[in-house]
Amino acid sequence: MSLNVSLPPELENRVRQHVESGLYSSASEVIREALRLFEAYQGVQASTPYIVFYFVDAHGITIARVLHHTRDVPTIEHWPQH
């Protein structure tokens, strides 16, 4: 299936940056991963009061922050440099 999607310039630039980083081979791959993460987020949101924000890079996964209801629970002391 082929699908064309319009993105605002700032999101289009972010997709391009992910491809240029080498972690993804195409814009389609970035969008597919974003959709998978969004669906996982929705599933977690429906089943547990925790939200986990994380970054994926060449070194693995970095947990940036964990939210529990209205309490913000910090999990790392610094944010990854981008």
Convert the pLDDT of each residue in 35-59 to its tens digit.
988 888 777 666 667 777 888 877 7
What is the distance between the alpha carbons of residues 18 and 6, in angstroms, rounded to a whole number? 17
Mean pLDDT of 11-28: 94
Phi, psi of 52 (to 5 degrees): -115, 125
Distance from first CA to last CA of the chain, Å, rounded?
A: 33
- pTM surpassing 0.75? no
Instruction: Quote the mean pLDDT of the chain.
Output: 79
What is the distance between the alpha carbons of residues 44 and 68, in angstroms, rounded to a whole number? 12
Give the whole-number percent of the chain exceeding pLDDT 70.
74
